[in-house]
């Protein structure tokens, strides 16, 4: 059977295989499989069980719901998970021997996270409560009228959440499995994150910032708490993000992942280990000039949850590392030895490691494969596929394989990829679209990206590169964009275009398009305001005016300072880096796509740009997406994701 190119509606054909978790005896595992339902316009997921001895795969949960973060009890007889089957995420548990899942919580605002107690008789969890409220308190249902919201802090809203409740905080509670009775463990009027439970059950690690006004405070202190006495030991308390905490098998060591603010939000994440025996902390990854974790972007993966680290019995630690477009599994020992455990040219977006360190479970995607679950022997690298959820789709569809691109932009080496059109024929010429990622501190990688494949399927070449500011190429490289927006990064992107035009005769230099979202939207706006080389552009969830962004974005008041080294005390610098300033120079037909409920790059950014361009007599159109936030292209309503792709293809068809 002749294979066809990737189509827009293949969004509904591919499945996202994520979050592999081994059972305590390392003989079983579960994964979460998510798919988009066209009829219901929703995302549904299910837990699948794998017997590693027989490699039999069995679906364990069913129904029109989302499930997430499955975790085994210490004896392996129960599996707990979160599900929105009653609208908000609640905690469920099922017997692994069989039977229906049982709901454990009825938290008014849902459950945020959870961890098993080692006894298997209770589960710790977190959820939001009003001050003075308990997890078991119930309010009578009553008709509620809209009320004004008094705002006293700058951190009062968040993309995806909207206006934040002013008198609610994340608290930690505990539910007894036998009785379903719930008790509160914390009650202070500040947010608590449940990070880890020791294997003996006597200690919790909790993240909590007790500062009354945290508008300019970006610390996330980690506190070790004795569950009986509530005595506290501070693990880390400095500006930056620290979390993903895991106890070693004997509870002596506590590993966590974090990054300080030396380079603001461009600081690469590291693995730290705290030794309870002597109170000392070591940085295990200080010798690696790459970020710990998964910084690769994709529009296919759903609920791609991976542990920050995994301990083995011999006190080795495994973790993800983002490097040169790959996300690889690495291992480290406490004496400082570090080595890669997986190869190149792929995206390891989920993993777990056997207690004895002999094998790992991996969920892996590549540029031409949406991903499956694999078992890999650590010593030999031998790999066996355990699932085939996307096998039938790949029998009828042929994604385009990218070719790597590497070039010099001045003195800076830049890396990227080039997709040829799916219908490519030698001797013909084709239009080219330059795609620019968001962040800017993220990276394009060797992973399946539906949007890029759809563009190639519609007869376009696609160039996507990692300019300065991207992760995976060194601390200097990722920091290189800060204070330099629209300069070095612009040069890197244009140098990549020049490189492929010089090397690839099939590209029609008179039919060039450019698009990107978030920071990529900013850069799209910037590019068309500084060159007329592109015949069409699509800007998505973009920034056009840094002055207004400062006050309307949920992160604007600090992100502007971190990225541009300027705030409202230096409006001239904000305006200098604003694409809106250069609107008179925009002659490229520009399609503006934006979500109504985007609090990260609010829709007023698009409104300003559109009205200004129309007032100047420019060619521009504006499409607004209802009920959508900043993540429309990744987690938005399925029908709106389809509509967005059709808008992009339609605009380029019209002008290229």
Place of tokens 């039919």: 511
Question: Helices 488-503 & 519-528, crossing angle to 10 degrees?
Answer: 70
The C-alpha R_g of the chain, in whole angstroms, comes to 25
* Three-state SS at 456: helix
> Is 518 one of the catalytic residues?
yes
CA count, 13 A, side-chain hemisphere, 608: 22
> Distance between terminal CA atoms of the chain?
32
> Is 633 one of the catalytic residues?
no
CA dist., res. 540 & res. 559, Å (int): 19
Of 518, 595, 628, 633, the active-site residue reads 518
Q: How many CB atoms lie within 10 A of CB 30?
A: 25
Size (the chain), residues: 656
Of 48, 347, 415, 630, the active-site residue reads 630
Strands 507-517, 536-540: pairing kind: parallel
Alpha-carbon distances of 209 from 73, 166, 169, rounded to whole Å: 30, 16, 11
Q: Contact, 593 vs 541, CB < 8 A? A: yes
CA dist., res. 411 & res. 476, Å (int): 13
Contacts of 518 (CB under 8 A, 6+ apart): 438, 439, 540, 541, 542, 543, 600, 601, 630
Cβ neighbourhood burial of 236 (10 Å; 0-12, 13-18, 19+)? buried
CA dist., res. 45 & res. 48, Å (int): 10
Contacts of 603 (CB under 8 A, 6+ apart): 594, 595, 596, 624
CA dist., res. 529 & res. 285, Å (int): 41
Place of tokens 């959508």: 628
DSSP state of 4: B
CA dist., res. 93 & res. 300, Å (int): 28
Partnered with residue 51 across adjacent β-strands are: 28, 56
Q: Contact, 478 vs 484, CB < 8 A? A: no
Give percent helix, percent strand, percent coil of the chain, each to the nearest 5. 20, 35, 45
465: phi then psi, degrees, rounded to nearest 5: -125, 165
DSSP state of 304: -
Active site residues: 518, 630
């Amino acid at each position: 059977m002749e294979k066809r190119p990737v189509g827009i509606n293949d969004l509904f054909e591919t499945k996202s295989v994520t979050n592999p978790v081994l059972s305590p005896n390392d003989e079983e595992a579960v994964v979460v499989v998510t798919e988009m339902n066209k009829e219901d316009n929703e995302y549904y997921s299910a837990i699948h069980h794998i017997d590693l001895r027989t490699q039999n795969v069995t679906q364990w949960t069913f129904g029109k719901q989302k499930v997430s973060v499955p975790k085994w009890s210490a004896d392996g007889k129960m599996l707990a998970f979160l599900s929105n089957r009653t609208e908000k995420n609640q905690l469920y548990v099922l017997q692994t021997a069989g039977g229906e899942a049982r709901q454990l919580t009825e938290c008014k605002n849902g459950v945020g996270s959870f961890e098993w107690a080692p006894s298997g008789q209770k589960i710790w969890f977190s959820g939001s409560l009003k001050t003075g409220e308990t997890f078991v308190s119930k309010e009578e249902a009553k008709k509620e009228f809209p009320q004004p919201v008094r705002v006293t802090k700058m951190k009062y809203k968040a993309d995806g959440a909207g206006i934040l409740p002013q008198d609610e905080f994340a608290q930690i509670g505990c539910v007894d499995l036998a009785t379903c009775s719930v008790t509160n463990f914390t009650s202070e009027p500040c947010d608590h994150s449940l990070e880890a439970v020791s294997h003996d059950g006597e200690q919790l690690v909790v993240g909590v910032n007790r500062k009354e006004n945290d508008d300019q405070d970006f610390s996330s202190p980690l506190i070790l708490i004795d569950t009986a006495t509530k005595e506290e030991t501070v693990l880390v308390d400095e500006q930056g993000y620290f979390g993903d905490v895991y106890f070693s098998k004997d509870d002596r060591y506590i590993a966590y992942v974090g990054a300080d603010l030396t380079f603001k939000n461009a600081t690469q994440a590291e693995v730290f280990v705290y030794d309870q025996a002597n109170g000392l902390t070591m940085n295990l990854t200080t010798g690696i000039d790459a970020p710990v974790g998964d910084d690769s972007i994709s529009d296919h993966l759903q609920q791609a949850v991976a542990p920050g680290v995994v301990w083995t019995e011999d006190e080795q630690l495994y973790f993800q590392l983002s490097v040169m477009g790959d996300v690889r599994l690495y291992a480290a020992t406490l004496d400082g030895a570090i080595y890669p455990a997986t190869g190149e040219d792929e995206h390891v977006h989920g993993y777990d490691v056997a207690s004895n360190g002999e094998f790992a479970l991996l969920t892996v995607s590549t540029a031409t494969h949406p991903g499956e679950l694999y078992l890999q022997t650590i010593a030999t690298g031998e790999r066996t596929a355990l699932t085939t959820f996307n096998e039938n789709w790949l029998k009828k569809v042929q994604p385009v394989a990218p070719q790597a691109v590497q070039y010099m932009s001045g003195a800076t080496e830049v890396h990227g990829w080039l997709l040829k059109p799916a219908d490519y024929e030698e001797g013909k010429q084709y239009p080219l679209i330059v795609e620019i990622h968001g962040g800017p501190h993220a990276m394009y990688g060797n992973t399946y990206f539906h949007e890029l494949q759809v563009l190639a399927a519609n007869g376009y070449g696609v160039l996507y590169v990692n300019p300065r500011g991207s992760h995976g190429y060194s601390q200097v490289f990722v920091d290189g964009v800060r204070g330099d927006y629209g300069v070095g990064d612009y040069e890197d992107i244009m140098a990549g275009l020049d490189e492929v035009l010089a090397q690839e005769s099939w590209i029609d230099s008179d039919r060039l398009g450019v698009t990107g979202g978030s920071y990529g939207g900013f850069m799209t706006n910037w590019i068309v305001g500084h060159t007329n080389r592109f015949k069409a552009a699509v800007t998505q969830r973009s920034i056009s005016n840094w002055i207004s962004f400062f006050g309307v974005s949920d992160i604007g008041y600090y992100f502007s300072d971190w990225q541009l080294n300027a705030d409202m005390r230096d409006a001239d610098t904000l305006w200098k880096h604003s694409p809106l300033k250069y609107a008179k120079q925009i002659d490229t037909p520009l399609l503006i796509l934006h979500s109504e409920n985007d609090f990260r790059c609010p829709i007023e950014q698009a409104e300003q740009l559109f009205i200004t361009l129309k007032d100047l007599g420019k060619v521009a159109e504006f499409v607004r997406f209802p009920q959508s936030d900043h993540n429309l292209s990744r987690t938005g309503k399925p029908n709106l994701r389809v509509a967005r792709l059709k808008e992009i293809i339609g605009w380029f068809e019209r002008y290229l």
